Chain A
Amino acid sequence: MIEFERHILSNGLKVIVHYDDSTPMVTTNLLYDTGSRDEDPEATGFAHLFEHLMFEGSDNVPVFDTPVMLAGGENNAFTNNDITNYYITLPANNLEIALWLESDRMVGLDLSENRLMNQKSVVTEEFRQRYLNQPYGDLLLLLRPLAYKVHPYMWSAIGKDISHIAKAGSDRVRQFYQKHYTPSAAILSIAGSSKPDDIFMMAEKWFGDLPSSEKIVRVLPQEPPQKERREITVYRDVPAAQLLMAFHTGGRESRDFYILDLLTDILSGCDSGRFPSLLVRKKELFSEADIYLSGEIDPGLVIFSGRLKNGTDIKKAEAAVMNELGRIATEAVTTAELDKARNRYESIRLLSYLSASNKAFNLAFHELLGDANGINTEIDRYMSVTAEEITDSSSRTFTPDNCNVIYYLPETK
């Protein structure tokens, strides 16, 4: 049980506090309810560009990193399709430094032209390093526009086209900041050995006087049900073929999410899962075979990803995967498989409790979903999944019409 207290400031900032005296540290996790799904289709990659700009200094902080380092802290951030998340972990007696820094960049970010120019260049190098200069690096960039035709999940956090970043003008950048970086769009979650009462007082001091702004109501086009199988083939300079198959499923709060999360663990969560045992070891079709949930808040994807053994026919490999998924949809998983998945879930959950920063993030994320206490109640949502639910959910999900396939093949030289 993760105990916490919650307080909402008058400007709408939600503050969640979890006390843990087993660590000398404290983590502040500031989650902004802004991701790449909130971008204009003609100006994608902005949420992620902002993650970079947020480290470039603000009104009272010329270099963001210096006070963090002087306080003995470390910090980082990430952006995905749903959120932009910033965290600082530092000795508990320096907590106020983190609050000062976060409040300063929430209200007075330095958006000067040279900062912007430079980070546009850094992000372009990041794009090259992570997506272009890695074998198989562009797989997920290819998947999104195939699987989504309407919903903004059709582009990745790095952006639909890297030229959008190169073209990002300072007016648009300023508008994005004013719209999305506000107290009411943020959740501040703090975990560690600082006392809740002290934290609430400090939060009031550093965030209480930030002007409130209207909470944005998000209206996104919902992806209509997919009616027929989609398929693309690409050729790349890689030594082995990769098969990607993605099926639409429910959102993060749907029952299907919990059912399929447990199911994907049964299929490929560990070395004795069905896919490593059957598709890799017994049939020797793949050298690696993995299935996982993309995990977005709006309806997401279940993604199968397998590296083919040399000599395997990709159609035959695909048929074998469909066959296994079909079996899941018709025959109940065994009690032993369910027990294994439950034991594994218990270990993984307890392991996450060992890290204050992990707890801070998870509390913030559940608060975004509707209630921070979800961190506690979701245990039941996992443990109560039955074999029948798995069969039912699989039969609805793993159908040929709901499938998006990428054949990622080696160039013939």
Chain B
Amino acid sequence: MKRLTVKQPPVIITPSAGETLFPETARLSNGVPVYLLGKGTVDLLRIEFVLNAGQQMEKVHMAASTTNAMLTEGTVKHDAITINDLIDSTGTMLNHTADKETASMVMITLSRKLEEVAALAEEVLFHPSFPETEFRMLIDKRVQSFLTSRQKTSVIGREEFYRALCGNNNPYGRITKLDDYNSLTTLATAEFHSLYYKPDNMYITVAGRDPEQALPVLEKYFSGNGTGAWHEPEIPRFLFEPAEPGRIFSEVSNSVQSAVRLGWKGITRNHPDYQGLQVASMILGGYFGSRLMRNIREDKGYTYGINSVVGAFHGAGYIVIITEVANGYREETIREIKKEIIDLCINEVSNDELNIVRNHFMGEIARMFDGPFNSAETIRSIIDNNCGHDYFSRFVETVKTITPGKIKELFNTYFIIDNAFEIIAGAK
């Protein structure tokens, strides 16, 4: 089949990132910040409660995630089945998780159910009862999924990388052992809860059509109950004790593929090079046509996918290249990754290649602010990482003005082959 006529391709219009403004902030009478993201087109509200109650605050390993998971396992007023039934009956989609740094609960709810749902949110956030039976069931389930995860090369590879980067005594680097589940108690979770699940330790985002309608309701349920005035979250400082650079091998028997991670200590989000480093990483392995994807997937066919990622915790950053390849391809893959890095250390990228990445970022930022629900997730990343309300307008500037010379300099500064951790998880 052939086209009947030949045509000029259309001209590409350079994409713009659009508005990246930080939203209006309201406050409840006790000082809790409420960020409002309007312009919704349907009668749904997305309400998120973010607490400074992540893993970084815990004394007992996994207390943060277990406390968060127990929120909907029974409250002082209702048992687990009843409280879940009350929430589900409103049609609300509820999701709650705790990560390294924060804990959160998101409710996507029909606007007409707002009042009912806010009352339930207050109940699960601040009055969970931590019943023993549900606690034991939760731990059993977690042990089961922990044992399953021991067979996933990608999980082992990720853990070993963070341990190499942070050390085993650091909450970002610590690897969970089966024994850790035995040390967890309802007492430890109740204590964690009483310390960190308080209005003075949280903020709220409301996204959707007319988000202001939520303010009186939130005032009613979340302005009391605190121990004091709202304060900026306290961020503990940890010691980072990285491993020696070089090969770290973990055996995962019977695996047909190996997880390969090549990574370095990076920089935090407030470092002047952070945004430039994101551009550099994108060129190396951030998109389908990136250097690594073209070489290792599209030319060699060693893998289904390979990525380069720049990220940061509170207090430290990282750079990591992630892939899964057949066991027999892993040495060749590492050699090719290094070859691509060396090339970027020696030769400047062309303006054409840089423009691909520039334009991609513009589209990406526009999508991150496309609609109130996406915007709510985006501003959460700004708040939690404390990287300044103008983070994205600065990012747009960096992306537009960065030069091929600067990119080369970044590769020479941060992608130093001899300093890399080379993680392999797979069969011997």
**Chain A interface (Cβ within 8 Å of chain B)?**
20, 22-25, 55, 59-60, 63, 65-67, 69-74, 89-91, 93-94, 96-97, 100, 103, 107-108, 117-122, 125-126, 128-130, 132-136, 178, 182, 205-206, 209-211, 213, 237-240, 270-273, 277, 280-281, 284, 287-288, 307, 309-310, 336, 339-340, 342-348, 350-351, 353-354
Contacts and interface: CB of A to CB of B under 8 A. Distances in A.
Contacts of B151: 135, 237-238
A310 B370 CA distance: 45
A287 B88 contact: no
A133 B256 contact: yes
Interface in B73-93: 80-81, 84-85, 87-93
A354 B376 CA distance: 14
A329 B133 CA distance: 31
A343 B113 CA distance: 10
Contacts of A240: 144, 147-148
Contact of A287 (B12, B109, B141): B141
Interface stretch (B13-21, B165-173, B262-270): B13-21
6 contacts: A90-B15, A121-B301, A210-B3, A288-B141, A343-B91, A343-B113
B299 A346 contact: no
B2 interface: yes
Contacts of A210: 1, 3-4
Contact of B257 (A133, A336, A344): A133
B47 to A, nearest CB: 13
Contact of A340 (B18, B42, B91): B91
B151 to A, nearest CB: 5
B289 to A, nearest CB: 4
B13 A94 contact: yes
Contacts of A211: 1-2, 4
A348 B93 contact: yes
B140 A69 contact: no
Interface in B115-149: 134, 137, 140-141, 144, 147-148
Contact of A125 (B3, B7, B152, B326): B326
A66 B151 CA distance: 37
B15 A271 contact: no
Contacts of B415: none
A118 B44 contact: no
Nearest to A356: B370
A307 B147 CA distance: 13
Given A69-B356, A239-B148, A346-B110, A272 B91 contact: no
A90 B110 contact: no
Interface string B9-43: 11011011010000000000000000000011111
A71 B89 contact: no
Contacts of B81: 272, 277, 281
A135 B85 CA distance: 32
B72 interface: yes
Interface residues of B, number: 77
A310 B136 CA distance: 13
A23 B370 contact: yes
Contacts of A350: 42-44, 110
A43 to B, nearest CB: 20
Contact of A72 (B15, B257, B324): B15
Contacts of A60: 9
Contacts of A136: 148
Contact of A129 (B3, B87, B324, B359): B324
Given A108-B2, A237-B151, A281-B81, A118 B39 contact: no
A288 B145 CA distance: 11
Given A121-B301, A129-B304, A344 B88 contact: yes
Given A74-B364, A182-B1, 12 more contacts: A70-B359, A71-B359, A71-B363, A72-B366, A121-B302, A129-B324, A209-B4, A209-B5, A272-B89, A336-B89, A339-B89, A351-B42
A22 B41 contact: yes
A128 B148 contact: no
A227 B150 CA distance: 41
A238 B42 contact: no
B88 A340 contact: yes
Interface string B49-62: 00000000000000
A351 B366 CA distance: 20
B297 interface: yes
A239 to B, nearest CB: 4
